[in-house]
Homo-oligomer: A and B are copies of this chain.
């Protein structure tokens, strides 16, 4: 049984590649999808398609409309969601995606460092499982196939 896994979370390091590599090593039949991970492309996609906008708020709204369409398509196709929080950035998109996934009844795993236990406590409690490392998240996925 193949499963599609949406990888929500920060796009500032290669955690998705690491996760995919480890999943391949374990021969797990998982397909991974994710938001746009090129930050500049993600910020620029609105003007790249729609042309220059009259100021930052309009530029941002144009980009987010395309990013949100992408996320909606891929999240609806997913069987499981992993949402990773790190110590930098506001990461409201990660919280938004995790909460949308949980409300859509998508089984959801949160990955966050110990330092974020308190500010993420309500979201952790709503998710199925909360772990601290991507290895642990992969252990949870692997457990489905045992």
Contact = CB atoms under 8 A, between A and B. Distances in A.
A63 interface: yes
A122 interface: yes
Given A58-B54, A69-B109, A123 B140 contact: no
Interface string A94-111: 011111101111010100
A128 B77 contact: no
Interface string A74-105: 10110110000000011111011111101111
B61 A124 contact: yes
Copies held by the complex: 8
Given A92-B123, A117-B56, A3 B139 contact: no
Main secondary structure of the interface of A (DSSP, over half): helix
A20 interface: no
Nearest to A96: B99
Interface of A: 1, 3-4, 31, 33, 36, 38, 41, 45, 48-50, 54-58, 60-61, 63-74, 76-77, 79-80, 89-93, 95-100, 102-105, 107, 109, 117-126, 128-131, 136, 139-140, 143-144, 146
